[in-house]
Structure 1
């Protein structure tokens, strides 16, 4: 191998010449990126094409995929692009803020081969065991109870007072988690997502989840952890705890942002506000618009090539993260159409072997939450201090910091 070839393979993204330096990498963790990611995606596409050198955290490099067709090619090739991060994480400092979120865990989304199959069968069965009809009743009841706490005030923060507590309680119901354990889970999950004292949050979350698994081993119920424990795959307590952790992480962060981002769209975009409230378009149409344009997890579905490989004339080195930008791929001009109504060809749920197994459940919770709120408070208006929403910085999520609203006060509903 020539010196140039050797040098090329050492770099996570090589766009021929010159080799990108750390200064060339686009920081996905910056507030500037969070404020207007679509501008960054357009500039990335113009400068780099389908594969972009990025930084997930200070000093943590990766390749961002912003082409729909390239993403589909990678996601449908798990043999060459496995999701197992174990080799990569050996080179990452232990205090890296995103390591607790990305490090290997014994669960399907971090595994390949026979391990993946075993874990995937168990988590899919546990999700499928949730009674959707009963879950709709649970979410409707939670929604009304929460709306009753602020409907007479004429104003509310829909994240703090509505979406987060609704989603958190809904997930706890699916997991059969008692309040004393769920409080610890909330604290640990928040620390992980925000990357603030992530290691302590990781430890607190692990302890809380093991407490829940131990409880369900002794007193099984009709819930996700009990189904995992009883599945023929034979998961041990540690494996079950990590799968429960994934349900918390994706079930809360993804679901919360999906509800809130969709409410922002409905209330601020005249195409949806009048149509949804007037019955021409459904909340499902608004949800799919968000899943196209601002998916709650904008950049994720991370894989780690087994060996150096050329994709779209770019060298991807072995065992370095390749991150799919669902947001950028969904808006790829090569595949994007003008009318998205009824179009669900987005990548927000993933595709292939690692596609989300909880799509129906996520749609149900989001639709119930949105429909109940708009039924009770149809004249809701956004009340942002400067009129512009503020987005939380972070390489993976698309999340508002707050969603303050005003509305004509109304009397509480009967539960």
Structure 2
């Protein structure tokens, strides 16, 4: 007689019997089918032991109610990663690829209590001043420019040619970056997230943001940098640099992934064929099923405690799996009942995303403009040949090859980033440009605007 077993079955490639019994959230196997891993992890209960990178251990929250409990309990759990015991005691390799996104920086993400409230309020109030009409105009203008770079070819990688670049350009405009500073911001953020000389890229980004702060101290404009600087929280230069670097870096990568993942959904899901589904609906479905940041929100217990059936020590690293929580049994009833925005893709609690509405607005506008310009765009390869970028935090395609009927360039739209460039330009002689940055992507865009 066959004996039935309810033991969990490890997903393909999962070394379930690795030292410590931790499940790896890196490598091509996890990237190819993360939901198989989440299904396996649920058998551990609301939390599970995982490995983010070789030698980096963490506890992952996979249950929706437990995730909400963690995200709202700022008394028991802290965000200050200087509390991370394994890092402080030297058990984390200094060159670990996950350290740049987990190590402490003096910004609102990694602070608690009064410091967090002061920095967070400055960021929230400044982002709230972004005018939706200006955001629409700028996004459409940038979209037109990017499409003009590949539209006549009849083919494009909508990740590398479009989704990867558009958020960086929009943020450069929102933050009032002049040409030379904007070129280095794009170079720095791209290098940090693409893993190409990340240390140098980080140095370039922080140097460029420091120059932007100095520029806006002398000549403020109608931009987020100036509004943040003028806020009653009275941020000093170091605080300004770190809040701006956070907003630029932490905003660009998830937005790139959200645009790419939503385009993937629209091009592969029959529900959206022939315009059958609204774009904003596709964005929300993507945030539910394929959130751009799948596992993040690092927290640390303030004291030794029992949490969700697991014994934790002070300073242990906990993360929330937004993807697993969204797809588990907990939120299914509310989603079916029509509460379509109760997903955790933007996190929740006092550290929830402060710019989710601008991000959603940019995504919908960018995709609408693209599909209006390229109405017959379709995948150029079989769907099952697409690959996903490995890593424990992001959910993102490596490429999205498409084809379409070639389109001519369109005239540039009036207004938008060209006026921001003019207002950001300091009085007196222009600073000498560094040769290796001259003619960068932001400069080329600003030149296109003035043709």
Q: Tell me, yes or no, whether TM beats 0.5.
A: yes
Residues 340 and 388 from structure 1, CA distance in 2 versus in 1: closer, same or farther, beyond 3 angstroms?
farther
In the TM superposition, what are the counterparts of 1:51-200 in structure 2 within 5 Å?
A: 51-88=47-84, 89-91=87-89, 92-200=92-200
Partner of 2:205: 205
Aligned counterparts of 1:411 and 1:340: Cα–Cα separation in 2: 44
Q: Which residue of 1 aligns with 2:248?
A: 248
User: What does residue 308 of structure 2 align with?
Assistant: 312
- Normalised TM-score (structure 1): 0.90
User: Contact (CA 8 Å) 2:268, 2:383: kept in 1 or not?
Assistant: no
Secondary structure at the aligned position of 2:332 is classed as: coil
Q: Mean Cα displacement is larger for which, 146-155 or 264-273?
A: 146-155
Residue 259 of structure 1: how far off its partner (Å): 0.6
Aligned equivalent of 1:228: 228
C-alpha distance in 1, partners of 2:187/2:53? 22
Please give the alpha-carbon distance, in whole angstroms, between the structure 1 residues aligned to 2:371 and 2:82: 45
Q: Tell me the SS of whatever aligns to 1:105.
A: coil
Contact 1:285 1:341 in 2 (8 A): no
Picking from 352, 357, 360, the partner of 2:357 is 360
Larger deviation: 152-161 or 192-201?
192-201
Q: Return closer, same or farther for 1:384/1:340 CA change in 2, 3 Å cut-off.
A: farther
Residues 151, 81 of structure 1: CA spacing in aligned structure 2 closer, same or farther, 3 A cutoff? same
8 Å contact kept, 2:287–2:343 = yes
**Alpha carbons 1:85, 1:103 under 8 Å: kept:** yes
> Following the alignment from structure 1 to structure 2, what is the Cα–Cα distance between the partners of residues 97 and 210?
25
Alignment of 1:30-41 (within 5 A): 30-41=27-38
Helix, strand or coil at the partner of 1:360:
helix
Match for residue 239 of structure 1?
239
Separation of aligned partners in 1, 2:29 and 2:208: 35
1:321 aligns with 2:317: yes
Cα distance between partner residues in 2 of 1:170 and 1:340: 35
The equivalent residue for 1:404 is: 401
Q: Report the Cα distance in structure 2 between the residues aligned to 1:147 and 1:342, rounded to whole angstroms.
A: 35
Corresponding position: 1:43 with 2:40: yes
Partner SS state of residue 141, structure 1: helix
1:352 CA drift (Å): 1.1
Helix, strand or coil: the match of 2:328? coil
Check whether the contact 1:261–1:290 (CA below 8 A) recurs between aligned residues.
yes
- Summarize the Cα distance change of 1:70–1:228 in structure 2 as closer, same or farther, 3 Å threshold: same
| Alpha-carbon distance in 2 for matches of 1:181, 1:119 | 24
Residue 282 of structure 1 pairs with residue 278 of structure 2: yes
Shift of 1:173: 0.3
Alpha-carbon shift at residue 221 of structure 1 (Å)? 1.1
* Structure 1 counterpart of 2:329: 333
TM-score, normalised via structure 2 length: 0.83
Q: Which residue of 1 aligns with 2:439?
A: none
Matched residue pairs, number?
391
* Structure 1: 4+ residue segments shifted above 6 A: none
Structure 1 segments unaligned to the other structure (5+ residues): 1-19
Contact 1:62–1:322 (Cα < 8 Å) also in 2: yes
In the alignment, the residues of structure 1 paired with residue 197 and residue 144 of structure 2 have an alpha-carbon distance, to the nearest angstrom, of 35
Question: Following TM superposition, by how much is the alpha carbon of 1:190 offset from its aligned partner in structure 2, in angstroms?
Answer: 2.9
Q: Secondary structure at the match of 1:364?
A: helix
Q: Distance in 1 between matches of 2:308 and 2:88?
A: 28
Q: Distance in 2 between matches of 1:153 and 1:411?
A: 10
Q: CA deviation at 1:229?
A: 1.4
CA drift of 1:42 comes to 0.7
